[in-house]
Amino acid sequence: MKAIKRLFLILLALVAMMLTACGNESTDTSGDTVIGDGGHSHSYGERQLQSPENTPCEERIYFQVCGECKEVKWLQGTEKDHKWSTETVAPTCGGEGYDLYTCSSCGKEKKATMFPTIFSIIPGR
Ligand SMILES: [Zn+2]
Ligand SMILES: [Zn+2]
């Protein structure tokens, strides 16, 4: 019985440690103010692109440098970094119409909002 109680306490301690570890983790991804080792708040500059220009936005690697201690922080891009501009392509006899989204940052394209072909709009008899 004693052994079980000890095991329980160890488990409890482990859970507590895990919780504390999670609490310490920075959930702040915008990263404007992070307290550094020197006791100052890092003031990171502009996000700078490390990857080649043609890398899709969500795979890009960026870095920011603290203006004070020159510490470098690495960031990965996300889907949200795409800057979509929309172009509507009208349906033709041969094909569907769609909204064509083009990212002005990385050139990635995606199609959305498919319109049926003209054939299927006009009931063919
Ligand atoms: Zn700093
Ligand atoms: Zn993009």
Name which residue leads in pLDDT, 94 or 45.
Answer: 45
Ligand (nearest to CA of 70)? 1
Q: Which residue has the higher pLDDT, 11 or 25?
A: 11
Residue type, 124: G
Residue 51 Cα to ligand 2 middle (Å)? 13
The reply to whether 62 falls in a domain is yes
The structural domain count of the chain equals 2
Give per-residue pLDDT as tens, 103-122.
999 999 999 877 777 666 55
116 lies in some domain: yes
Angle formed at CA 62 by CA 64 and CA 44, multiple of 5 degrees: 15
Strands (E), 77-121: 84-89, 97-103, 109-115
User: Which of 47, 56, 46 has the alpha carbon at shortest distance from 82?
Assistant: 56
- Domain annotation covers residue 23: no
Residue 33 lies in a domain: no
- pTM for this entry: 0.53
Looking up tokens 């203006």 gives 67
- Determine, yes or no, domain membership for 7: no
Residues 51 and 65 both lie in one domain: yes
Asked, for residue 117, whether it belongs to a domain, the answer is: yes
Ligand 1 mean position, distance from CA 38 (Å): 7
Q: Does residue 110 form part of some domain?
A: yes
Ligand nearest to the CA of 106: 2
Domain region containing 103: 84-121
Measured in Å, residue 71 CA sits from the centre of ligand 1 at 6
Measure the CA–CA gap between 123 and 117, rounded to whole angstroms.
Answer: 11
